[in-house]
Amino acid sequence: MIDHARDLRSVDEATERLLAAAAGLDNVTVAEPSRLPGWSRGHVLAHLSRNADAIGNVLAGLPMYASAEARDADIERDAHRTLAVQLADVRESAARFRERSELPADWSRTVTLRNGVTDTAARIPFRRWVELELHHVDLGIGYELDDLSAEFTEREIAFLRERFSADPAVAGVTGPPAALVGWLSGRGDGEGLTVPGGGALPALPPL
């Protein structure tokens, strides 16, 4: 059973953890490359802010983004701001999402995300938690896959395996949890993972 209220608390904790870590950056280092190809740390922070607003839209029954092009343009527009502005936006957008999540709602309802993907409203807080944790790692400022909590890692592995359920070979891959979540999320090469009977890891479809 998904406990959306508990996940919302985890979102709050992850937000504060990320903000505290990112506060150690400055206007030079926030503009440096992140671990995501083509994105600076500023792009990552801008994405987190716009994602908070976007999933607030989902809970309100609105389109997550006006369009894919608008999503990308908003991130690019906001990526080059000063660190202080970036951190304020992450905090303020997180507060807007929290306010939206506290409104009376049917958490069992089906909601629509990007590209026609649907899910229950109750799992939206977990999806936000995923964004915060994995993009904290992407910032490359000392928070690593090994630092993710056991609860988060276990749930994220199960979530990603569910997404790749069309390929049974993925379900058979085993290994250290941090390596598994890294490989499944496109943030690791799968070193340390094994496939039943040996051989190469299966190719993962795009996320």
pLDDT at 118: 95
Give me the pLDDT at residue 165, please: 80
pLDDT of residue 54: 98
Assign 3-class secondary structure to 162-205.
HHCCCCHHHHCCECCHHHHHHHHCCCCCCCCCECCCCCCCCCCC
Residue 192 has pLDDT above 80, yes or no: yes
Q: Per residue in 92-141, pLDDT tens?
A: 999 999 999 999 999 999 999 999 999 999 999 999 999 999 999 999 99
CA distances from residue 130 to 64, 67, 78 in whole angstroms, order as listed: 17, 22, 21
**What residues have CB less than 8 Å from 159, skipping those under 6 apart?**
126, 130
Say if residues 85 and 94 touch (Cβ distance below 8 Å).
Answer: no
Q: Locate 87 and state its tokens.
A: 């951190």
Per-residue model confidence as pLDDT tens digits over 49-93: 999 999 999 999 999 999 999 999 999 999 999 999 999 999 999
Q: Report the residue count for the chain.
A: 207
User: Looking at residue 204, what is its pLDDT?
Assistant: 84
pLDDT digits (tens, 9 = 90+) for 8-54: 999 999 999 999 999 999 999 999 999 999 999 999 999 999 999 99
**pLDDT of 200 above 90:** no
Q: What is the pLDDT of residue 202?
A: 87
**pLDDT at res. 199:** 82
**117 Cβ neighbours under 8 A, 6+ residues apart:** none
Q: Which two tokens stand for residue 12?
A: 């709050």
For 129-184, what is each residue's pLDDT tens digit? 999 999 999 999 999 999 999 999 999 999 999 888 877 888 889 999 999 999 99
